[in-house]
Amino acid sequence: MDLSSEKIAVIGLGYVGLPLAVEFGKLRPVVGFDIHRERIDELQRGCDHTLEVLPEDLARATQLRYSCDAADLQDCGVFIVTVPTPIDRANRPDLRPLVKASETVGKALRPGGVVVYESTVYPGCTEEVCVPVLERHSGLRFNRDFFCGYSPERINPGDKVHTLTTIRKITSGSTPEAARQVDALYAGIIRAGTFPASSVRVAEAAKVIENTQRDLNIALVNELSVIFDRLGIDTTEVLEAAGSKWNFLPFRPGMVGGHCIGVDPYYLTHKAEEVGYHPQVILAGRRINDNMARYAARNVIKLMLCNGIDVARSTVGVMGITFKENCPDIRNSKVADLVAELRKWNVQVVVADPWALPDEVRAEYGIELGVIDAQRPVDSLVVAVGHEQFRGLELPALRSMCRGERPVLADLKALYDRRDATGAGFTVFRL
């Protein structure tokens, strides 16, 4: 087995797949495959709406070809699967994109081929779910005719410092030789180096606990935020004081959305329950984090009522809909939950976001993006995302966006000085 001369196919050209295809495409022949024709057309024009890859980097990937035709995969010897692995409404793993991608790869797989999965899964998923699909559609035998690997993605959307090549990469393979070849494959593009795991299942488990750990840490500070609010203590001030100790972890409260932290723990708990263990701590953390949007919205309503605002005839401006700051990624945004909770009180909600794509927001959440400014003032404001455009606003400008004498400012990301905001005429709530 020698992968150095094989053409690579990257299946799925989203936040994970495109940077990977581009890096490999600078060095060797690559087919970037995606089922969405509009995505292929966009990339062929040299544009990436996710903003993860700059036009000049797209241009440098001279050996990368984009396609939505599965026939173009037939001469590939290495397949890297980077499709989404979401959860359904019941918080169960939705493996349909992974299975469909495996079917597509299986039809193109030939003897000696290697399939590497990067999508986040639970331990055992590659060999228990994906491999049977590959065998069925290829007619080949696993670990005799073809081999598999798992190398979990570590992409952080919007982060221009910790990028694909600067983050150490976990690698693994279904046999010792496959593991060696998969590691060598990634070592060719990852400047930060690789970490060969002892097995595919270990690599899968390592990925899923990375975000579970973060989820639990955020759940802890979210619960502390609820407690401190009842005690009349500002959580941000408490965390800043505690942070003066060298080993205090700098987590902050917030709404946990996105494609990883708010999703991955459910993959682990699903597998745990499958083997007869009901997780306690992990699911408790999930319950806390999943309820923070509702908690924030209800506090806004409570303060508006206390201030004499006619809630049922009011308009609340929500600044930000993406799941994190300074990127257009709206996947699993908990701001949408906050909007839905506000609307239950018959509040008219105006959502503004300079980073989000209006068509995507409309298609995903049924929300039309609007404008919040001094010419179109609202009764209260929720600053839900820490975009640089919002951080740069002066409090008088923010106050001009609100009518009435006692508007509420829900500064959920603690962007502004609480005392200054109070001095500007706001009743302030923050997590």
Q: Is the pLDDT of residue 259 over 90?
A: no
| Predicted confidence (pLDDT) per residue in 274-298, tens digit | 999 999 999 999 999 999 999 999 9
Closest CA to 379 of 299, 304, 268, 280: 304
| Predicted confidence (pLDDT) per residue in 53-81, tens digit | 999 999 999 999 999 999 999 999 999 99
Measured distance CA(381)–CA(401) in Å, rounded: 8
Measured distance CA(378)–CA(347) in Å, rounded: 11
| Predicted confidence (pLDDT) per residue in 33-43, tens digit | 999 999 999 99
What is the average pLDDT value for the chain, to the nearest integer?
94
Q: Is the pLDDT of residue 2 over 80?
A: no
Confidence of residue 114 (pLDDT cuts 50, 70, 90): very high
Q: What is the CA radius of gyration of the chain?
A: 24
Measured distance CA(118)–CA(204) in Å, rounded: 9
Answering whether pTM is above 0.75, one says yes
Of 260, 306, 327, 402, which one is the catalytic site residue? Answer: 260
- Alpha-helical runs (H) found in 232-334: 235-242, 264-274, 281-290, 292-306
Give me the pLDDT at residue 1, please. 66
What percentage of the chain has pLDDT greater than the value 70?
100
- Mark whether 306 is an active-site residue: no
Q: Is the pLDDT of residue 226 over 70?
A: yes
Angle at 196 between CA 257 and CA 19, to 5 degrees: 50
Give me the pLDDT at residue 157, please. 80
Say if residues 374 and 402 touch (Cβ distance below 8 Å). Answer: no
Check residue 369 and report its DSSP letter. Answer: B
Give me the pLDDT at residue 326, please. 92
Phi and psi torsions of 415, nearest 5°: -80, -25
| Predicted confidence (pLDDT) per residue in 9-41, tens digit | 999 999 999 999 999 999 999 999 999 999 999
Region of residue 31 (left: phi > 0; alpha: psi -120 to 50; beta: else) = beta
Give me the pLDDT at residue 268, please. 94
Give me the pLDDT at residue 4, please. 81
Mean of pLDDT values over 228-257: 94
Closest CA to 289 of 91, 115, 139: 91
| Predicted confidence (pLDDT) per residue in 126-174, tens digit | 999 999 999 999 999 999 999 999 999 988 887 788 889 999 999 999 9
Q: Is the pLDDT of residue 217 over 90?
A: yes
Confidence of residue 342 (pLDDT cuts 50, 70, 90): very high
Measured distance CA(354)–CA(118) in Å, rounded: 31
Q: Are strands 408-411 and 380-383 parallel, antiparallel or unpaired?
A: parallel
**Which residues contact residue 257 at a Cβ distance below 8 angstroms, ignoring those fewer than 6 apart?**
323, 324, 331, 332, 333, 334, 335
Measured distance CA(322)–CA(357) in Å, rounded: 9
Which residues partner with 146 through β-bridges?
142
Confidence of residue 181 (pLDDT cuts 50, 70, 90): very high
- Sheet (strand 64-67) strand order: 64-67, 30-33, 8-11, 78-81, 114-117, 147-150
Is the four-CA dihedral 91, 92, 93, 95 of positive or negative sign? negative
The three-state secondary structure class of 192 is coil
Give me the pLDDT at residue 18, please. 96
| Predicted confidence (pLDDT) per residue in 307-334, tens digit | 999 999 999 999 999 998 999 999 999 9
What percentage of the chain has pLDDT greater than the value 90?
91
Q: Is the pLDDT of residue 366 over 80?
A: yes
